[in-house]
């Protein structure tokens, strides 16, 4: 399998390009609007056929490139069936699969940061074809997690999502988050279960909730633009107001 981790420095956002090397079918997780030209140039250089873009959630800090990419290449946008963007082409639920060539991404719903948070677990043709990977969006970050104080955030739901859907994966599963602000690129389930200061080290649900409720974070500077645009798959809507719920 071909794999590329891509980065937007302005918003500290990771996008992920995965492709089947035999069929050349590819998917792109969490594309950033300002990086569309870079990403599509890479798709062309690697002679890939991009079939899907996937959103881990409705982002508040950047606008997705899904709509532009769909217009350019005819890709299909994959979003959450519950709490996602109604403009998506494919609305997925827990346990659904998104295929590309011989590979697939298994959907795990991981709400708590937002209602529509999804994580994607790589299913390869065989265990030897690729290392186990999970793409966690903002549900689980490296030594952190997404905030729970807006956009339907709920620390109780996030704690259960991480423990039931992510920490239950094999310990050597590689964790690829939606953002990182300290220069980390990858972790593992075992690392986060042990070292994540909010969710790991045996923290109870009550301890996690207390930590999250004590945070005092500024609103994302792009939220007024990003949320309504992302509810429309990245296409600007003049009649849309910021939505919180």
Within a domain: residue 243? Answer: no
- Report the C-alpha gap between 162 and 173 in whole angstroms: 14
Say which DSSP state 2 is in: E
Query: Closest by alpha carbon to 114, among 81, 144, 79, 158?
Result: 158
Within a domain: residue 172? Answer: yes
User: For residue 243, what are the contacts with CB-CB under 8 A and spacing of at least 6?
Assistant: 227, 228, 231
In this prediction, residue 124 has a pLDDT band, given cuts at 50, 70 and 90, of: low
Contact criterion met (CB below 8 Å) for 132 and 173: yes
In this predicted model, what pLDDT tens digit does every residue of 78-114 receive, in sequence order? 999 998 788 899 999 999 999 999 999 999 999 999 9
Within a domain: residue 210? Answer: yes
In this prediction, residue 242 has a pLDDT band, given cuts at 50, 70 and 90, of: very low
User: For residue 188, what are the contacts with CB-CB under 8 A and spacing of at least 6?
Assistant: 171, 172, 173, 174, 175
Domain of 93 in residue numbering reads as 2-218
**91 class by beta-carbon count within 10 Å (0-12 exposed, 13-18 middle, 19+ buried):** middle
In this prediction, residue 130 has a pLDDT band, given cuts at 50, 70 and 90, of: low
Pairing of strands 97-100, 118-123: unpaired
Within a domain: residue 126? Answer: yes
Q: Specify the pTM.
A: 0.93
Cα angle for residues 9, 58, 25 (degrees, 5° grid) = 75
| Residue position matching structure tokens 């056929």 | 49
Specify the pLDDT at position 244.
36
Specify the pLDDT at position 188.
97
Arithmetic mean of pLDDT, 151-160: 95
CATH code of residue 58: 3.60.15.10
Q: Could you give the percent of the chain with pLDDT greater than 70?
A: 93
Within a domain: residue 233? Answer: no
Q: How far is CA 113 from CA 46, 59, 79, 159, 173, in A?
A: 34, 10, 15, 10, 22
Within a domain: residue 83? Answer: yes
């Amino acid at each position: 399998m071909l794999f590329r981790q891509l980065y937007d420095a302005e918003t500290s956002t990771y996008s992920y390009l995965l492709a089947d090397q035999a069929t050349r079918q590819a998917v792109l997780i969490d594309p950033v609007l300002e990086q569309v030209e870079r990403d599509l140039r890479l798709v062309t250089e690697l002679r890939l056929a991009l079939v899907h873009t996937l959103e881990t959630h409705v982002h508040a800090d950047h606008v997705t490139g899904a709509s532009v990419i769909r217009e350019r290449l005819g890709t299909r946008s994959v979003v959450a069936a519950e709490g996602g963007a109604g403009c998506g082409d494919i609305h997925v639920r827990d346990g659904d699969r998104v295929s590309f060539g011989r590979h697939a991404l298994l959907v795990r719903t991981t709400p708590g940061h937002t209602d529509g948070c999804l994580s994607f677990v790589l299913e390869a043709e065989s265990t030897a074809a690729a290392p186990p990977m999970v793409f966690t969006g903002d549900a689980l970050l490296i030594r952190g997690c997404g905030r729970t104080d807006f956009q339907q955030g709920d620390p109780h739901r996030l704690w259960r999502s991480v423990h039931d859907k992510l920490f239950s994966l094999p310990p050597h599963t590689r964790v690829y988050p939606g953002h990182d602000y300290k220069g980390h690129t990858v972790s593992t389930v075992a690392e986060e279960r042990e070292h994540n200061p909010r969710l790991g080290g045996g923290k109870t649900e009550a301890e996690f909730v207390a930590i999250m409720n004590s945070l005092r974070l500024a609103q994302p500077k792009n939220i007024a633009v990003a949320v309504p645009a992302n509810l429309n798959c990245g296409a600007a809507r003049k009649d849309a107001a910021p939505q919180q719920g």
